[in-house]
Amino acid sequence: MTLADRRILVIGGGFSGMSAAIDCARRGARVDLVEIDPGWRNYGAGISLGGATLRAFRQLGILEAFLAHGNASDGVRICLPHGPQVAELPTPRIAGPEVPGGGAIMRTVLSRILADATRAAGVSVHLGRTVQTLEQDADGVSVQFDNGVRSRFDLVIGADGLYSRTRTMLFPEAPVPRYSGQAVWRAVLPRPPEVQTATMWIGPRVKPGVNPVSATEMYLFITEPRPLNDRVDPSEFVPRLRALLEPFTAPVLQQVRDQIGPDSQIVFRPLEGLLMPRPWSKGRVVLIGDAVHATTPHLASGACIGIEDALVLAEELSRHAEPTVALAAFEARRWDRCRMVVENSFRLGEIEIAGGDKDEHARIMRESLMALAQPI
Ligand SMILES: Cc1cc2nc3c(=O)[nH]c(=O)nc-3n(C[C@H](O)[C@H](O)[C@H](O)COP(=O)(O)OP(=O)(O)OC[C@H]3O[C@@H](n4cnc5c(N)ncnc54)[C@H](O)[C@@H]3O)c2cc1C
């Protein structure tokens, strides 16, 4: 059996699921994608992307669209709370000598680019739909959808995110997401001319940063230690965000602080993570993306490793006639890299919460970025 003969179901239309659908369809598989949200929405300001993500975009065929609608830049500037720059983390040009080593884009824009590519690849997209049951035998998977329809697939890819129901169906004993003790605030603001690339200000325990998402806009992110995973009422968003920035006297941050208002698209999100122990598949059902390795955003690499999963999975499925052999090969290629991202990101968060060793923080950042530059 080659990939061209296969019928594949993807559960979840986030970045990982769409990427898997695109690459499998382009390699000749007949792909259906079910997404539970009838509006296929993606929430939350901008998303930062490293060179490895841009390399994955190139492989997926969406790099040009990203460069047209997002922002690419080199280096990450590290500054003191009152403004002076103390370091610049190099971001190697992994996607090619002509492509900057990182960037950012609005999440809604990246989602639209991927959704267009998904449909263009010939994937059958079913919105507002999910799976009720999965039953496997040696030859395939029988799937019962929530509208009562039953269909048969050669392979099912669970890409339904941090709270994956596919994971629970497959592995009822799987670990549950763990709260990290930190939350992140994000907002969208006009881009001042001096913000040329990702820039962070390292406070004792709070870390604000900005990253341009286009020629005219940037997004602001601020990590804050919060011992309890509690809710913040939206009426408190603007004053709370301004208060977090108050000790940061860097002129650009004070300007940002003054601009924060009810129209700043503020999103508050407690940070949770999960690293699913191996195996990541059972028979002909495999999990990818946040469903198995949800990372906190300290290395800006969660979307990257989910999209890479999709590329590696499609490659191994084209390479091996037997799906279970392909799934074992996929997992062997992905485990170390994904574990590194989740564990190092979590450690960076721990250091920030404790106001810990800045040298260790910088070393982990540097080593992780170098590891991410390796081929997948
Ligand atoms: C605050 C925050 C900031 C982040 N910042 C960055 C960053 O700067 N850079 C970066 O690379 N990464 C970042 N990440 C991580 C990144 O957002 C995720 O790793 C990535 O979105 C995961 O994609 P996914 O497709 O695996 O899962 P998801 O994005 O969760 O997508 C899952 C999809 O499945 C659908 N779904 C769920 N259940 C079902 C069901 N039962 N049936 C059908 N469909 C279902 C959902 O509606 C959704 O569309 C950040 C994460 C957080 C929390």
Q: What is the DSSP letter of 121?
A: T
Q: What is the mean pLDDT of residues 168-189?
A: 96
> Does the pLDDT value for residue 216 go beyond 90?
yes
Determine the longest span between alpha carbons in the chain, in angstroms: 64
Does the pLDDT at position 14 exceed 90? yes
Residue 194 pLDDT greater than 90, yes or no: yes
Mean pLDDT along residues 120-139: 97
Lowest-confidence range among 120-124, 175-179, 353-357? 353-357
Residue 234 has which token pair? Answer: 């939206």
Query: What pLDDT, on a 0 to 100 scale, did the predictor assign at position 322?
Result: 93
Q: Give the nearest ligand 1 atom to 304 CA.
A: 11
Q: Does the pLDDT value for residue 1 go beyond 90?
A: no
pLDDT at position 44 is 77
Cα angle for residues 157, 161, 165 (degrees, 5° grid): 70
pLDDT (mean) for 201-224: 95
Q: Which of 38-42, 59-63, 172-176, 182-186 shows the lowest mean pLDDT across its residues?
A: 38-42
Give the count of beta carbons closer than 10 Å to the beta carbon of residue 336: 9
How far does the centroid of ligand 1 lie from the alpha carbon of residue 19, in Å? 12
Residue 172 is predicted with a pLDDT of 97
Region 354-375: what's the mean pLDDT? 92
Q: What's the CA gap between 132 and 145, in Å, rounded?
A: 5
- Residue 279, preceding peptide bond in cis (omega within 30° of 0): yes
Question: How many CA atoms are closer than 13 Å to the CA of 312, on its beta-carbon side?
Answer: 23
Report, as an integer, the average pLDDT of 233-244: 97
Burial of 327 (0-12, 13-18, 19+ CB in 10 A): buried
Residue bearing tokens 């009152």: 82
What gap in Å lies between CA 207 and CA 205, rounded to an integer?
7
Q: Is 102 in the pocket of ligand 1 (CB under 6 A)?
A: no
Kindly state if the Cβ of 35 falls inside 6 Å of ligand 1. Answer: yes
- Which of 10-14, 30-34, 341-345, 352-356 has the least mean pLDDT? 352-356
Asked if residues 280 and 331 have their Cβ atoms less than 8 Å apart, the reply is yes
What is the average per-residue pLDDT within 360-373?
Answer: 92
Pocket test for ligand 1, best of 9, 16, 130 (most atoms within 8 A of CB): 16
What per-residue confidence (pLDDT) applies to 5?
Answer: 81
Q: Residues 285, 136: contact at Cβ < 8 Å? A: yes
Alpha-carbon gap, residue 368 to 132, rounded angstroms: 39
- Of the candidates 41, 44, 45, the one whose C-alpha atom is nearest the C-alpha of residue 189 is 45
Q: Whose structure tokens read 């919105």?
A: 127
Element (H, E) at 296: none
Decide: 51 in ligand 1 pocket, CB within 6 A.
Answer: no
Please state, in angstroms and rounded to a whole number, the distance separating the CA atoms of residues 314 and 2. 11
Q: What is the 3-state secondary structure (H, E, C) of 252-278?
A: HHHHHHHHCCCCCCCEEEEEEEEECCC
Read off the pLDDT of each residue in 222-228 and give the average, rounded to a whole number: 95
Q: What is the pLDDT of residue 318?
A: 95
Strands 198-201, 76-79: pairing kind: parallel
Structure confidence at residue 9 (pLDDT): 98
